[in-house]
Amino acid sequence: MRSATAGVALSTSSFLIDTLSVLVSGGTDEVHLTVVRPFWTGFGAAFLLTLVLSFLMKGCMTSWLRWPVERCRQLSSLAAVGEPVKMTLVVRKDLKMGNGKIAAQCAHAAVAVVEEILEIKSRQVAASSDATMTLDSTSQLWLRWYAAWHVSGCSKVALQCPDEETLMAIAKHAKEVQLPFCVIRDAGRTQIAPGSKTVVAVGPGPKSLIDEVTGQLKLL
C-alpha cells in the first residue's frame, strides 16, 4: 500500500515538473495547449456548476422561508377568530337534481367564493406596495376568515332548503351579516331550466355567524 502511494506521488511530481519545464522553456504551442486546455475546461465546468447550484439553492431557500411565514399568518388568523370556521352549501330540493348534478353545483359555489376571496388577496398584495390602495373592513374580515378556514381543514357542510325563495333569503341574510356568499345559476344544459338558482355557498366564516344564517336548515 505504501509503495503504491509513493508511486502515485512520484508520478504526480513528474507531471508537475514536466509541465513547469514546458512553460518555462517556452515549448511548442501544441504542448502548451495540451497542458492549459484541460485546466480551462475544468474551470469552466466548475463555474457553471456553481451558478446552477446557487440558483437552485436560492429558489429552495426562498420556498422554505416563505412557507413558515404564511403558516404563521394563517395560524394567527385562526387564533384571532377564536372559534371554528366553516362553509355551508345550501341546495334547493325542489329542483330534484341528481347526486352528480348536486355535487357539481356545490363545487361551483365553493370555488366561486374562494376565487372572489383570492381576488381580494391579490388586491391586498398590491396595496402593500401602494399607499393609495386600501381594503375595506369587510374584505379584511373575509381574508382573516379564509386564512383560518384554510389552515383548519376547509370544513364544508351540505344543507338543503325547500325552494328558491328560501335560498335567496339565505343569501340576503349572509350579505347583511357581511359573510362571503355566492348564488349559482345553472346554464340549463342538463336536468333543469337555464338560469335556475341551484346552490348558495355561505362562508367561510365563524361557526356562530354561519349558524345564525343557515343553522335552522337540515343536512342534505
| CB atoms inside a 10 Å sphere around CB 35 | 15
Note whether 48 and 110 are same-domain residues: no
Contact 216, 160 (CB under 8 A): no
CATH number at residue 175: 3.40.1490.10
Using alpha carbons, select from 151, 152, 161 the residue that is nearest to residue 202. 161
pLDDT at 195 over 90: yes
pLDDT at 17 over 50: no
Q: Give the pLDDT mean for 37-63.
A: 58
pLDDT at 218 over 90: yes
Q: Give the pLDDT mean for 158-186.
A: 98
Residue with the larger pLDDT of the pair 40 and 194:
194
Note whether 147 and 207 are same-domain residues: yes
pLDDT band at 70 (very low <50, low <70, confident <90, very high): low
pLDDT tens across 2-13, in order? 444 444 344 444
- What is the domain range of residue 42? 2-60
Q: Give the pLDDT mean for 187-209.
A: 96
Note whether 47 and 134 are same-domain residues: no
- Lowest mean per-residue pLDDT among 45-54, 88-97, 146-155: 45-54
In sequence order, the β-bridge partners of residue 92 are 161
Q: Is 179 left (phi over 0), alpha (psi -120 to 50) or beta?
A: beta
Note whether 22 and 97 are same-domain residues: no
pTM for the predicted model, two decimal places: 0.66
Note whether 204 and 125 are same-domain residues: yes
Residue with the larger pLDDT of the pair 211 and 44:
211
Overall domain count for the chain: 2
Whole-angstrom distance, CA of residue 162 vs CA of residue 174 = 18
Mean of pLDDT over the chain: 79
> Is residue 68 assigned to a domain?
no
